[in-house]
Copies of this chain bind each other. A is one copy, B any other.
């Protein structure tokens, strides 16, 4: 009762999150069968709400439904792994590490190219703002303010992705933010960021500002190369 109305979303949000997380974590194994009726009872909701939920899960390719059979959990290889909801569920599950590794590798791939794109397409305001964030990053880094550093680091990467003018790059900003946050929370960051990292961020901002695509790509490569090494990818 109180819980049903307490959370922000409607009924089917709750149901969606619960089921989604069950599937993402593997607790509901691929091949498992559900029926609408079971679900109605388990979550004590109406058929309509149960249907809504399954339709959304179906559109994420987490399940498929066949008449006479019921609703079947899909093989992971069919999942829409770029759906932010699924990413969130996977990060919340026990399979966190796998999702984290995939995201990091994606970030390593995308960010240098995004930097080059930003050097070509960023607006004047964006170029200025990037420079300001890079300077702020140095200030906070040298002051040893890890929390502030993280916030500005996220802002820097987010702005860069958006400045790329590629909406697919921009769309991964939330995922990059989660990766950066996780990195800090896990204590994987040195107490004081390395000089090389600070310099690399500044170089990205400078190159983007000057419209030097090659330099921007190279500098962003230096930013992520330390991540590659930390992940054992080099």
Contact = CB atoms under 8 A, between A and B. Distances in A.
A113 B102 contact: no
Contacts of A56: 55-56, 59
A112 to B, nearest CB: 7
Given A110-B106, A113-B109, A168 B60 contact: no
B167 A77 contact: yes
A112 B114 CA distance: 15
Interface stretch (A22-30, A37-45, A79-87, A180-188): A79-87
Nearest to A232: B120
Q: Is the interface of A mostly helix, strand, loop or mixed?
A: helix
A59 to B, nearest CB: 5
A167 B74 CA distance: 15
B55 A166 contact: no
A32 B131 CA distance: 37
Contacts of A166: 101-102, 105-106
Q: Which 9 A-B pairs have the closest CB atoms?
A: A82-B82, A109-B113, A56-B59, A52-B55, A102-B168, A109-B110, A109-B109, A81-B171, A102-B166
A112 B108 CA distance: 11
Given A51-B52, A109-B113, A113-B109, A168 B59 contact: no
B108 A168 contact: no
A159 to B, nearest CB: 14
